[in-house]
Structure 1
Amino acid sequence: MNELVGELLFLQVGLPLAVIAMNTFVPSSTKTALFLRSAAILLLLMYLVLVGVWLFPPWWTPYLLMAVHAVGVVYAYQSLERKNEGTRRIVKRTEVLVSTLAIAAICTFLWPAIQGRSPPSPLIDLSMPLGPGNFLVTSGGNSKTINAHFLTLTRDTELARSLRGQSYAVDIVGLDRFGRTAEGISPVAPQRHVIYGTEVKAPCSGSVALTRSGVPDMPVPKMDRDNMTGNSVLLACGDFYVLLAHLAPRSLTVTEGDSVTVGQTLGRVGNSGNTAAPHLHIHVQREMPAKNPLSGTPLFFTIEGRFLVRNDRFAVER
């Protein structure tokens, strides 16, 4: 298990379980206080549904935590003892105040995640860039809370400026029938990740403006920061460009200057470049500057009319 997955397990599973256990077994001063602190925990779990990165355990984990929380609330309610009715007024007020402040604090973090799910305007609509399978969006949306690519807008560094075109990108991983993204817990071999080898298709008709090939896959979770996009294809489609990145070695089927049509195979998903695990990176930009081809103006986009945001799931039929 790599360090990232360990951190996610602690923050997204361990801590919520500890809070749920506290709410279940630590007596509350009043029914009102129990309601408020239970509501705060529910909001925290809703935050995890929207913002959590569910590489492991599966995406349905926060819903399971909600079910456990519901059972815990019932148990805590039934366990309220009459002696709590004699609890000092200051204790009651303190618990209510702390719970209310917790609700307010969680809402301040939750609101950007909710806002980030609203599609902005204008939008470029693309066709499906992936072959058959079930998929999960790990980064995407109109907010830095749910889209890590926004960092290229907030960081004023040479690297961030050179990658400005990816600021509204979407990252997609695969899911098996159990909702897992890989066989086991973040296996080192890229081939054990569900999306690895999935066909990548042209999401628009145009020409191949730029390709990158010959970059090896990286063992998970190591990243190749010298080759940020890894094996990749940049398409020129009318007045915008589309990048599809982190493809598998020797999988590209097009070269610069080729004409492409919607649905044409471009390559297969791999784990090359600056990626901690196999996924498809796709972004749209307005122009292709000669010095830094990926520093164009970023554009928001939809895929077959859907604005994809973190933790969205979708299926592609055969």
Structure 2
Amino acid sequence: MLTHLLMIVLLAVFVGLPLFYAWRVFRLDEATRGGWLVRVAEAALLLLLFLALGRWDMLGVYTRWVLVALLAAAAFLSWRRHARRPWRAAEGRPFWRAHLSPLAGIAIFGGLLVWIAVGVFSAPAPHALRFPLEGGRFAVVQGGAHMLLNRHYSHPAQRHAADIVAVGPAGFRATGLLPDDPARYAIFGLRVVSPCAGEVVEAADGLPDLRPPRMDPENPAGNHVLLECGAEGIRVLLAHLQRGSVAVAEGARVAPGDLLGLAGNSGNTSEPHLHIHAVDAATGLGVPIAFDEQAPLRNRLFRR
């Protein structure tokens, strides 16, 4: 019930609100072009914020571009009504008082975007790794050095962690909104490969793949592989693998691309995905990672 309520909230907020703002932009009838501009800017900043924060793997990776297109079309059509109006009113209340609400929205939405950008772009240089999955198109659902982008951010070892799912041809991570069969998730059973050259420090198998949204908090990583990436001086954990699929043992040497196991739904996870994070081998603190020079930020897509 809770997961279904979450889905309703996601739809209402991340799809419903942008649709409402696009409709409002389409219906605009401002006395000045300046008034039109601040209303459109407020809507655009809200949409940019939602593009960064939304779970578009659940709502559809193409849905976000439909929302962008709708807002752009609404702005174009409403501009045609405002193109010959003055930029400012000759008389009346000061501009900021007449448009206090959209100006407040611009300040809030713009401030949040700047806050996110500062966190993301101030992160240290990342460690280069090979992308750890094969056989599909993948979306990062948790990732980035910011608390609004990454629920792992508050954990010192997982500050730069990433949770990755696969998305199917229609742009969704599963068949159905919240299926309880792990096999209906696009990532389930896909190959998980070594992101570096190194040694297997730990390998665990035998835990069951749970039916979503059941979780196993007593075994947070579930079936997993921990690698020591010698050249980089880091340890990399790959978690929530499928039972019986772990293909390496402690002490084994691996090269980038070697099979480690298959993506599953074991451990403390509400649905199938791959969790990956790296720590400094000396301190145990999380360090940034990148795949093909791209940091795993929320909603970034990778194809393998």
Measured against the shorter chain, the TM-score band is 0.7 to 0.9
Q: Match of 1:33, as an amino acid?
A: G
Corresponding position of 2:35: 33
One of 199, 206, 231 as aligned partner of 1:214: 206
Corresponding position of 1:12: 14
Q: Secondary structure at the match of 1:71?
A: helix
Structure 2 Cα separation of the partners of residues 6 and 277 of structure 1: 18
Structure 2 Cα separation of the partners of residues 300 and 166 of structure 1: 10
Structure 1 residue 272, shift from structure 2 partner = 1.4
Corresponding position of 1:112: 115
Structure 1 residue 133, shift from structure 2 partner = 1.2
Q: 1:313 to 1:109 in 2, by over 3 A?
A: same
One of 155, 159, 170 as aligned partner of 1:178: 170
Q: Deviations over 1:171-229 (max 9, x none)?
A: 11112222121112232211111111110011112222112222212222332222211
Q: Match of 2:273, as an amino acid?
A: H
Superposition pairs of residues 1-318 of structure 1, within 5 angstroms: 2-25=4-27, 27-78=29-80, 89-90=92-93, 94-118=97-121, 120-152=123-155, 164-238=156-230, 239-287=233-281, 296-316=284-304
Identity percentage over the alignment? 33
The alignment covers a number of residue pairs equal to 298
TM-score, with normalisation over the residues of structure 2? 0.88
Structure 2 Cα separation of the partners of residues 305 and 47 of structure 1: 24
Q: 1:86 to 1:311 in 2, by over 3 A?
A: closer
Q: 1:30 to 1:276 in 2, by over 3 A?
A: farther
Structure 1 residue 122, shift from structure 2 partner = 3.8
Structure 2 Cα separation of the partners of residues 87 and 175 of structure 1: 53
Q: Match of 2:237, as an amino acid?
A: L
Contact 2:240–2:269, Cα closer than 8 Å, also in 1:
yes
Q: Secondary structure at the match of 1:55?
A: helix
Structure 2 Cα separation of the partners of residues 270 and 106 of structure 1: 37
Contact 2:57–2:171, Cα closer than 8 Å, also in 1:
no
- 5+ residue gaps in structure 1? 153-163, 290-295
Structure 1 Cα separation of the partners of residues 134 and 93 of structure 2: 61
Cα root mean square deviation, aligned = 2.7
Q: Secondary structure at the match of 1:62?
A: helix
Structure 2 Cα separation of the partners of residues 165 and 70 of structure 1: 41
Contact 1:30–1:92, Cα closer than 8 Å, also in 2:
no
Contact 1:229–1:246, Cα closer than 8 Å, also in 2:
yes
Structure 2 Cα separation of the partners of residues 288 and 189 of structure 1: 40
Q: Match of 1:222, as an amino acid?
A: R
- Comparing 16-25 with 176-185, which one deviates more in the overlay? 16-25
Structure 1 residue 234, shift from structure 2 partner = 0.6
Q: Deviations over 1:42-61 (max 9, x none)?
A: 11111112222213221232
Q: Secondary structure at the match of 1:173?
A: strand
Q: Deviations over 1:4-55 (max 9, x none)?
A: 3222111101122223223333643433212211111011111112222213
Q: 1:69 to 1:88 in 2, by over 3 A?
A: farther
Contact 1:51–1:113, Cα closer than 8 Å, also in 2:
no
Q: 1:92 to 1:302 in 2, by over 3 A?
A: closer
Q: Secondary structure at the match of 1:2?
A: helix
